[in-house]
Chain A
Amino acid sequence: MKNTIKFMIGLLAIGLVSCEPEFENAVTDEGFYDAGDADFSTYVSLGNSLTAGYADGALYMSGQEDSYPNIMAEQFGFVGGGDFTQPLTSDNLGGLLLDGVQILGNRLVLSVDENGNRFTTPLDGTPTTDVTTSATGPFNNMGVPGAKSFHLVTPGYGSVAGVANGTANPWFARFATSESTTVLADAVSLNPTFFSLWIGNNDILGYATSGGSGVDQAGNFDPSTYGGNDITDPNVFAAAYSAQVDALVAGGAKGVLLNIPDVTSIPYFTTVPAQSIPLDAATAGGVNAQFALYNGALGQLVAGGFISAEEAAIRAINFVEGVNYPIMTDVDLTDVTAILIGAGLDPQTAALLGQLRQVKSDDLVVLTALSILGTVPDPSNPTGVVGVSLPLPNSLVLSSTEQARVATAGASYNAIIEGLAAANDLGYGDMKSALADVAANGAPFNGGVLESDYGSGGAFSLDGVHPTPRGYAFTANTIIDVINTTYNASIPKVDIGTYGTVTTHNN
C-alpha cells in the first residue's frame, strides 16, 4: 500500500513536471529569428506625425501604441531588441492643452445619424494631455507631429515658451529634455544601435493640404523665414537631412531611411470628385447667364493684353446639365480684380471674379471641401451656393500647377534620401512605391484587401492623411522587409488583419 502510494505520487510528479508541451523549434528560442548584421538593442525612430502614431487628426494613446515604430520594436524583440519607450499622451481623446487651454482638437470618430448616414465628428470630452506637464524624455520614439526636415535640427523647437508664439512645437515641448535641445540631439543621446528616419513629408504636405496656400521656397535657403504651408527648398532639406544621418551613424548605428510618398494619393485628395455640382438644364442655363458678363469680359482682358488667350480659355465658366465642376479661386491665375474695378465693377464682385475659374479634371479638391460644397453659407443670400455662385477658396483645391510643385520637391527630397542611404550603407524604404501600390491595386492580407478609400479602405484614418493602425502595421511590414533584405535579418512580420481601422462612435 505504501509502495502503491509512492508509485502514484511518482507518476503524478512525472506528469506535472513534463506537462508543458514544448515545440521542437520554438519561436522563443534563441536563434529562431536572426538579427543579421544589425543590432536592435537600442532602436530610435525619428520623424513626424507618421512616426508618432498620429491618426484621426490627433495623437492619442491607443494610436501611439500602434505606431509603426512601436510595432517594429515589438518584432525586434524576437532578435534582441530592447525596450521601446514612447511619449504616450494621457488619454484616448486626443487633443492637447497648453497650460490648461485646449490648443488642438480631439480625435475624429465615425458616427451615424438617425437616418443611417455616416459622418466624422470630433470625439466629445476634455483632453488631459498638457504641453506643460512634461513627459520625461528622451524617448525611443522621437516622432514629432508637424515637424519638417529642418525642425529636427532646430534648437528651441521644444521650448514650451516658444509654443505660444509659434516658434516651437507643442508635441516636442512635451518631452524635449531642455528648452534649447533639438529632436536630433535628444535622439542621439540615447546612443541608438539602430534607427529609422522618416522626415520630409511635412516639407510638402502642408502646402498640399492647404491647397497650395503657401509659397514654394525653392531658392530661399533660410528656413527661419518659411511659413507653415511653404515648400522647403531641396538644399535646405539636404543640409538638414544629411546632418541627421551623419549624427545618427556617427556612433556606428545601422538604420533605415524612408522616402516621401506622393501626397496626392492619400484620401484627403482623392475622396472629393472634381465634378460635384449636379444641376438640371434650366439651372445650368440660369447660372451660365449670370456668368455671361464674366465670360465676355475675358475676351476684353485678352484684347487688353492683361491675360493670355490660353488663360481666358481656362477661366471661362460653363455649366451643363449633369454633374459640374465647381467654381474656385486659383491664386496662380492673373489677379484681375483691380482691372475689373477700374472697368466699373463693384469691389465685392470684382474680388469674387478676380482669380476665378472652374475646377478642372486634374485638380484635386480636398476632403474638407466635402462639407461645404453645394451649401448656402449665408441664409439671407439663397443664391449664394458654394461651387456655383461662390468659389471654393484656393485653400480647398490643389491645382495641377500646385501638384507639380509638390511632385518636383518630393522627387528632389527622395533623390537626396536615396543617395544618403547608398552612401552610408543604410536601408532605403521606398514608401512612395508602397503607398502608390496600395492606392492603385490594394494590398491583400489574411482576411481582406488594404485599400486607400476614405473611411472604408482600411488604410487611412478619418483625417484622410494619416494611416489607421492597420495602415501603420502595413508600413511596419514594409520597413521590416527592407531591414531583412539590407541586413540579412529574418525579423517576423505582423498580420495586418489583426490591427484595427477607423473607430465608430456616437457622441
Chain B
Amino acid sequence: MKKVLLLTVLFLATAVTYAGGYRVSLQGNKALAMGHTGVAVINSSELVFFNPAGLVYLENKLSVSVGAHGVLADVSYQNSATGETAMTEAGVGTPFYAYISYQANDWLAFGLGIYTPYGSTVAYEDDWAGSHLVNNIALQAIFVQPSVSIKLSDKFSVGGGPIYAMGSVNFNKNLDRTLVDLDGNRSEVTLEQTGITNWGWTASVMLKASESLTVGANYRSEIILSAEDGEADFENLPNSPIIPFSDTTFNAELPLPAELTMGLSYKHNDFLFAFDYNMTYWSAYEALTVEFAPSAPGGETSVTELLRNYRDASTYRFGVQYEASESFTLRGGYYFDESPVQSGYFAPETPRNDSNGYTAGLTFKVGDRLEIDASFLYLQFDEVDASYDYFIEPTSPVGATSSFGGTYKSSVFVPGLGITYKL
C-alpha cells in the first residue's frame, strides 16, 4: 500500500506555482500541491490569501498555517552567433507564509496573513554578456493582510481586508555595453532602497452552490512600490564631465499588479477537484523608470527608462486532492502560466517565457490538531529564442538601440514544507 501511495504521488507529479514576471505564486503548501488552486477550496487558513470570504466556513475555532518554500531557480543563456554563454548563480529563494484564522461566531471570522507574493532574485556573473541590462537583482515584497469574513447566508459569504506591503530592492547593472574606467573596469550602478511601504486591499466572495460545488472569486489590488530617495551608487566611472553620472539618489516605481482569481471546486467521495483562473494585470508594468536626482545643486534630473511593456497574463490551474487514509491526504496539480513578457521585451532580470507547472504534495496528520504539509513544484520551461530590443545606446546616433538576445532555458524546482495547527 505504501508503495502504491508513493507511486501515486510520483505520477500525480505535482505542480505548484511560480508565475510569470516577478509574481511568486507560493502562498501555501496545501494549495501549491494542487496547482496553487484555492479560491474555492475550504481547507485551511491558507484561505486568508486565496479567498478570505471562505474563512467563515472553516470548521475550527482557530486555524494556523505556517510554511516556506525553497525556490531553486536557474537560467541558462547562450548566443550561438557569438558563442557567449551565461548561467545564473544558483541561489535559494525562500518565500514564506503565515496565516491565522479565528471564528468569532457562526457568521463572522477574522484572519491575518503574512506572505510574499512578489519577488525576484537573479544573479548573473558580473560583466556577463547582458550586464548592461542586469548583473543581479533582489526584489522582495512582504504583504501583511488582516481580513474579515462574513457569512451572509449558509451558502454565500464575503471577505476582504487591507494589505500593508513592505518592499525592498537591490538592482545592479552596468551602465552600458562598453563604458569602462582607465583600467578597463566596467562602469556600473547599484540601486538600493529598503523599507518601501504602501497600502492595498483585497476583496472576495464565496458561494457554496451545493454540498459538492463551491465557487469563489478574489481580487487583490495593485500596489505600487515607490522608491523615493533611494541610493544610486556608481562605480568605476571615468573621470570626465562627458559622463553625466555620480553617486546620487533616485526615485522609481515598480507596480505589483492587481490579480483577479475565479475558480470552483467539486467534491466527490474522497476526492476534491479544483480549478482556478488567474488574471494578473501586468500591463501596469510599462517601464522601469529611474529618475536620478541632480548630483550637484542646479543640475538636471536624468531619467533612465527601461521599457518593459508587459501585457496582462492568464494562469490556468487544476488540482486534485485525495484523502487516502486517516493520516494521509495526497494532492497533485498542474497549471499553465502565461508569460506577461511580449516579443522583443525579454529582459534577463525576469527571463520568463510560458511555463507548465507540475505539482504534488501531501499532508500527514500528526494527531488531531497538527498536520504537516509538504509540496513540490517542477516548473517546466521550453527553450526560447528571445531578445530585448530596446536598450538605448549612449553614443551616437542619438536614440540608437541595441538588441540583446539569444536562447534562454529556465528551470525551477520548489520543495516546500509547512504545518497546519487546528484548535
Instruction: Enumerate chain A interface residues (CB-CB to B < 8 A).
Output: 1, 3-4, 7-8, 11-12, 15-16, 18-28, 32-33, 61-62, 65, 75, 78, 92, 109-112, 116, 118, 123, 446-449, 456, 458, 469-470, 492-495, 497-501, 503-506
Contacts and interface: CB of A to CB of B under 8 A. Distances in A.
Interface in B129-151: 129
A4 B179 CA distance: 54
A112 B243 CA distance: 11
A127 to B, nearest CB: 13
B90 A4 contact: no
Contacts of B2: 3
A112 B400 CA distance: 24
B240 A495 contact: no
Contacts of B177: 447, 497-498
B44 to A, nearest CB: 18
Contacts of B417: 8
Nearest to A33: B83
B286 to A, nearest CB: 23
A21 B411 contact: yes
Which residue, of A1, A4, A110, A506, has the highest number of chain B Cβ atoms within 10 A?
A: A4
B255 interface: no
Contacts of B182: 92, 109, 123, 503, 505
Contacts of B396: 448, 456
Contact of B402 (A18, A22, A446): A446
B238 interface: yes
Interface string B179-201: 11011100000000000000000
B72 interface: yes
Contacts of B79: 27
B80 interface: yes
A470 B176 CA distance: 14
A109 B182 CA distance: 9
Nearest to B407: A23
Interface of B: 2, 6, 9, 72, 74-76, 78-85, 87, 90, 129, 177-180, 182-184, 238-243, 362, 364, 366, 372, 374, 376, 378, 381, 383, 391, 393, 395-397, 400-403, 407, 409-411, 413, 415, 417
Contact of B178 (A16, A27, A501): A501
Contacts of B383: 23-24
B412 to A, nearest CB: 9
Residue picked from A78, A498, A500, most chain B C-beta under 10 Å: A498
Contacts of A504: 238, 240, 242-243
A447 B81 contact: no
Nearest to B243: A504
Given A23-B76, A447-B393, A28 B241 contact: no
Given A447-B177, A504-B243, A21 B6 contact: no
Contact of B80 (A492, A498, A505): A492
Nearest to B81: A492
A493 B81 contact: yes
Could you say which of B74, B76, B178, B243 has the most chain A C-beta atoms within 10 Å of its C-beta? B178
Given A21-B410, A78-B83, 11 more contacts: A3-B2, A15-B72, A15-B413, A20-B87, A62-B183, A109-B182, A446-B403, A492-B81, A493-B81, A505-B240, A506-B241
Contact of B415 (A8, A32, A112, A492): A8
Contact of A4 (B364, B381, B410): B364
Contacts of A65: 184
B170 to A, nearest CB: 24
B400 A1 contact: no
Contacts of B87: 20
27 contacts: A1-B366, A4-B362, A8-B374, A8-B417, A15-B378, A16-B413, A19-B72, A19-B411, A21-B75, A21-B381, A27-B79, A27-B83, A75-B83, A92-B182, A92-B184, A110-B242, A112-B240, A446-B403, A447-B402, A448-B397, A492-B80, A492-B83, A493-B81, A500-B178, A500-B180, A504-B242, A506-B241
Contacts of A493: 81-82
B240 A111 contact: yes
Given A15-B72, A505-B239, A506-B239, A61 B184 contact: yes
B376 A15 contact: yes
B372 A4 contact: yes
Contacts of A92: 182-184
A8 B372 CA distance: 12
Contact of A27 (B85, B183, B241): B85
A443 B2 CA distance: 68
A116 B242 CA distance: 9
A12 B6 CA distance: 15
A-B CB proximity, top 5 nearest: A447-B402, A62-B184, A15-B413, A500-B178, A21-B411
Contacts of A21: 74-76, 381, 409-411
A32 B82 contact: no
Given A112-B241, A503-B238, A492 B183 contact: no
A19 B184 contact: no
Contacts of A456: 396
A159 to B, nearest CB: 32
Contacts of B397: 448-449
A23 B376 CA distance: 24
Contacts of A62: 180, 183-184
